[in-house]
């Protein structure tokens, strides 16, 4: 009986964490949409050339820029990064089997 209560509580907590992570993800998206010329994370160099067309332009946010979402291992951004890394690793292994070098220059730079 205690185990059932524990499992139910755990499931509820996991559900709550997922909801909070979705809210954080959407707030992060809103932050980047509203601060196109600069932010604490990226710097404020955009204000030096703050033309109206730059401000109005919608931008896609890379997962690497989602510092807050990436702080959680279970967030959507973290899972997308892990999937991309696994795909990249699989492709690198495929090239290595064919006799190509296993690490490209870009991959070596990313390790630094």
What's the mean pLDDT when you consider all of the chain? 74
Q: What is the pLDDT of residues 60-109, one digit of tens each?
A: 777 777 777 877 878 877 888 788 877 877 776 666 665 555 556 556 65
Q: Which DSSP letter does residue 92 get?
A: H
Orientation of helix 76-97 relative to helix 2-34, angle to 10°: 90
pLDDT band at 55 (very low <50, low <70, confident <90, very high): low
Q: Which DSSP letter does residue 39 get?
A: B
Distances in Å between the Cα of 54 and the Cα atoms of 24, 37, 69, 105 are: 25, 8, 25, 33
Total structural domains within the chain = 1
What pLDDT shows up at residue 1?
A: 83
Average pLDDT over residues 16-28: 90
Statement: residue 32 has pLDDT above 90: no
> What are the residue ranges of helices labelled H in the chain?
2-34, 52-56, 76-97, 105-111
Q: What is the domain extent for residue 65?
A: 2-111
Report the percent of the chain where pLDDT is more than 70: 59
pLDDT band at 111 (very low <50, low <70, confident <90, very high): low
């Amino acid at each position: 009986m205690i185990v059932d209560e524990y499992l139910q509580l755990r499931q509820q907590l996991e559900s709550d964490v997922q909801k909070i992570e979705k809210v954080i993800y959407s707030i992060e998206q809103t932050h980047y949409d509203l601060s196109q010329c600069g932010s604490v994370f990226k710097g404020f160099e955009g204000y030096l050339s703050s033309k109206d067309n730059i401000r109005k332009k919608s931008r896609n946010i890379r997962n690497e820029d989602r510092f807050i979402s990436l702080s959680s291992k279970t967030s959507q951004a973290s899972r997308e990064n892990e999937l991309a890394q696994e795909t990249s690793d699989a492709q690198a292994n495929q090239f290595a089997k064919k006799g190509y070098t296993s690490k490209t220059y870009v991959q070596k730079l990313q390790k630094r």
